[in-house]
Copies of this chain bind each other. A is one copy, B any other.
Amino acid sequence: MVSKGRVTIREVAERAGVSTATASRALSGNHPVPAATRARVLRAARDLDYVANAHARALVGGGRKMAAVVVRQVTSPFYAQVAEGVEAEAADRGWLCVVGATGGDAQREMDFVRLMREEGARLVILVGGVVEDDAYRERVAHYAHALDSSGARLVLCGRPAPDPEIPALVVEFDNEAGARAVTAHLLSAGHRRIVFLGGLPGNTALDARVAGYRAALAEHGLPPEAAHVVDCGLGRAPGHRAMTELLKRTREFTAVFAGDDMVAAGVLRAIAESGLSVPGDISVVGYNDIPLAEDFNPPLTTVRTPAEELGRAAVRIALRDPEHAAGAHHLLGTHIVVRDSVGAPPPGRAL
């Protein structure tokens, strides 16, 4: 290496015997430069292994193509799929993609969004359900306006816009419809006492699923008291714990609707540990259809939410028509994937 530090366009220009202006033109290739000159510059750049300084370029050019996805955890299969979708769609367009993890902490979310503003991200995608309180509404309104005023876009994935007037767009799954569908699936298998395990009061995604669950129950002529919601939140461990406790307390149910597939993993485990079988004694359904759901014991019947498509859609929609996009609300469909975790209720326990 000749000298410490990056090689600049100046060195390239010198070596090619031209000015930095000409070098710049040849390198970016938007201005007409004679082929011979151009070749000399390109050659020099290659010899020197020159790469442009993105900061300098962004400073003069007004930002760069960078998108940011913010998720709770990268290791959650669902979030990982969404992030992969965003990454893939961004990469397809030559955009850089930054992934941020918040661990569910609002402060870290705020810090990260601020950082993205500093970095000049032109697209910020916030993924995952949240509890929609005043703090949330204020936070998001702030993000939206701040981002918008510097020409960047905000996409809310699977979480609501606190106010339709806000310059943000929303892309999410129809949680209520999906939940209604699986609940109906359980009902038509003969189940009448179904518990929803994994509620998280205030969380928009879970509340919608609970609403769909209640709606399906009502549509089948069951009274409101037939609904039984255990608010244990999401995750394998909470699901396992809640199910273990529930089994100790009562057997007044024949099926479990888990808030998501990770909860379902915990539920299946708890049932197995209690010596019961699925679906022989208890039927179980999950939500999301994560990649390993078919490897559970038994393979899990669940609702497929095309997570990668959600991520891709977020980018696509945000970049499609910048003007009309604000305030738009897109719903992605879901469907049931039937595997082996649902059967008829055990004889004699149907009601």
Interface residues of A (CB under 8 A from B): 1, 4-6, 49, 51-59, 73-75, 77, 80-81, 83-84, 87-88, 91, 96-101, 108, 114-115, 117-120, 142, 145-146, 148-151, 236, 265, 268-269, 291-292, 294-298, 308
Chain B residues with CB under 8 Å of A151's CB are 4-5
Task: Find the residue from A80, A115, A308 having the highest chain B CB count within 10 A.
Answer: A80
Q: Let me know if A1 and B75 touch, CB within 8 A.
A: no
Measured CA separation A298–B272 after assembly (Å): 11
Residues of B within 8 A of A57 (CB): 118
Q: In the complex, what's the smallest C-beta–C-beta distance from A278 to chain B, in angstroms?
A: 11
A145 touches B1 (CB 8 A): yes
Quick check: B97 and A99 within 8 Å, CB to CB?
A: yes
Q: Determine if A84 and B91 form an interchain contact, defined as CB atoms under 8 angstroms apart.
A: no
Contacts of A97 in B (CB 8 A): 98-100
CA gap between A265 and B77 in the complex, in Å:
16
12 contacts between A and B (CB under 8 A): A1-B148, A5-B151, A49-B146, A51-B117, A54-B55, A55-B56, A84-B101, A91-B101, A96-B115, A296-B296, A297-B297, A297-B298
Binding site secondary structure of chain A: helix
Q: How far is the CA of A53 from the CA of B54 in the complex (A)?
A: 13
Q: How many copies does the complex hold?
A: 2
Residues on B with beta carbons closer than 8 Å to the beta carbon of A292: 265, 292, 295-296
**Residue in B55, B87, B149, B150 whose beta carbon sits within 8 Å of that of A74 in the complex:** B87
Residues of B within 8 A of A142 (CB): 49
User: Which residues of the other chain, B, contact A88 by a CB distance below 8 angstroms?
Assistant: 101
Q: Which residues of B contact A101 (CB under 8 A)?
A: 84, 87-88, 91
Question: Using Cβ atoms and an 8 Å threshold, which residues of chain B touch A54?
Answer: 55, 115, 118-120
Question: Closest chain B residue to A292 by CB distance?
Answer: B292
Q: Tell me, in angstroms, the Cα distance from A109 to B155 when the chains sit together.
A: 28
